[in-house]
Amino acid sequence: MSTAPDSAVRAFIEEHRADFLDDLMEWLRIPSVSADPARAADVRLSADWLAATLARTGFPVAEVWTPPVGEDGPGAPAVFAEWPSGDPDAPTVLVYGHHDVQPADREDGWRTEPFEPVIRDGRLHARGAADDKGQVFFHTLGVRAHLAATGRTAPAVNLKLLIEGEEESGSPNFPALIRERADRLACDAVIVSDTGMWSATTPTVCTGMRGLTDCQIDLYGPEQDIHSGSFGGAVPNPATEAARLAAALHDSDRRVAIPGFYDGVVELTDRERELFAELPFDTSDWLRTAHSRATLGEAGHTTLERIWARPTAEVNGISGGYRGPGGKTIVPSTAQLKLSFRLVAGMDAEKVQQAVRAWVAARLPAGIRHEITFWRATRPCLTPLDHPGLQSVVRAMGRAFGQKIRFTREGGSGPAADLQDVLDVPVLFLGISVPSDGWHAPNEKVELDLLMKGVETAAYLWADLAENGRALRTAPDASCP
């Protein structure tokens, strides 16, 4: 296996940096907003542009896929590309990202037009610069640098790309697309380039994401709003019961009080807690980003542990009864409670849903009818620290950044678990975005120096994964526990 010399990789990247940025800015000019039906043609244009560019990069296969028709109609187009290694023992790696973007308008607070990229002070500003076109696109120059520096004519791994077109709309049709095309997507590992790092000076690798399930609980009491003087205190009030459910969701230690909720939870190891503690976390800075005046959560855990590695339950909304000006002395006929649950390794969304249903039914009095509607069920995703694929990512990043790579997790949820579930392979994360990049916010940007570090990391990664191909294929199951 030919390992790319660092100097050769960096020289190639620098030589082609300007053309790479010109191409990226051309792609960023396409307003591929998947949530806006009026932009459907732009999303398709974005997919076509990427497929053509990947073919020009050297991928012998570059196709635009339309997801199966779902409840809301056909999904947004995804791009699939494939470049076989030619080596019979080479592992197969699938890179995931997305080419759709969040809505953006000048009046939202952008200093410049969101779909007219601008380079200013070493930063590229545009919608999608970091989330996720920039992080997808660094793989195009990365694989070229890998080839140029090693003298290969094809990557050291069988390289596949799947770039989704509806991630910013919740990926409603993505699981069906994966199942339908599972044979084409078969691989030994997935690289997700839709995450970030702790900071520009503290490069990190994400090792997992939490799962998610959320619901609405509709409560029904009297057949209509009734007089609180004539009937209040003598009949069940659905708004009161919604409040009682919300108040009973946690115990005095801020643990979720639903029986069975923590069944199967994989607890943090001492080593993982030490690694979290190594990060330069500043509570005051974090509170500013949270727009909050204080931290609060499950007793016995730090803030990072709470948002990365502990399951949570949140009241997203509570409503019912009169909400107009002044007072109205009624017992309302209906109330609603919206809840979301973040899940960690070892938890099963369907079992959590069953536990929530049983808990609600046990707490409501006679005379209150209820209905529960669950919307999503996303599994958590976690890769063990000693997994050989993760170690390849760490080594490649370490070469690019020239310093120790630390570890994080993501508190949110994404489609990584769908890839892991259907393809039955580990998911590894490679992202170079930093919190200040402003995902989903006005003036989104990507740091150009970090973007080039992503290119360099990708250039080193494929040879490292190829050298560890057997270990990658025979490693213990790294799917979501």
pLDDT one-digit tens code per residue, 216-235: 999 999 999 999 999 999 99
Q: Supply the pLDDT for residue 332.
A: 98
Residue type, 289: T
Query: Which whole number is the average pLDDT over 69-90?
Result: 89
DSSP 151: T
DSSP 165: S
Confidence of residue 1 (pLDDT cuts 50, 70, 90): very low
Strand partners, 396: none
pLDDT one-digit tens code per residue, 390-430: 999 999 999 999 999 999 999 888 788 889 889 999 999 99
State the burial class of residue 63 (Cβ atoms within 10 Å of its Cβ: 0-12, 13-18, 19+): middle
Q: Supply the pLDDT for residue 476.
A: 61
DSSP 57: H
| All domains of the chain in start order, with CATH | 6-209+380-474 (3.40.630.10), 212-265+311-375 (3.30.70.360)
Contacts of 225 (CB under 8 A, 6+ apart): 321, 322, 330, 331, 332, 333
Q: Supply the pLDDT for residue 4.
A: 64
Confidence of residue 99 (pLDDT cuts 50, 70, 90): very high
pLDDT one-digit tens code per residue, 275-329: 999 999 999 999 998 999 999 999 999 999 999 999 999 999 999 999 999 999 9
The rounded percent of the chain whose pLDDT value lies above 70 is 97
pLDDT one-digit tens code per residue, 138-154: 999 999 999 999 999 99
pLDDT at 121 over 90: yes
Confidence of residue 3 (pLDDT cuts 50, 70, 90): low
* Closest-CA residue to 475 (of 386, 395, 407): 386
pTM for the model: 0.90
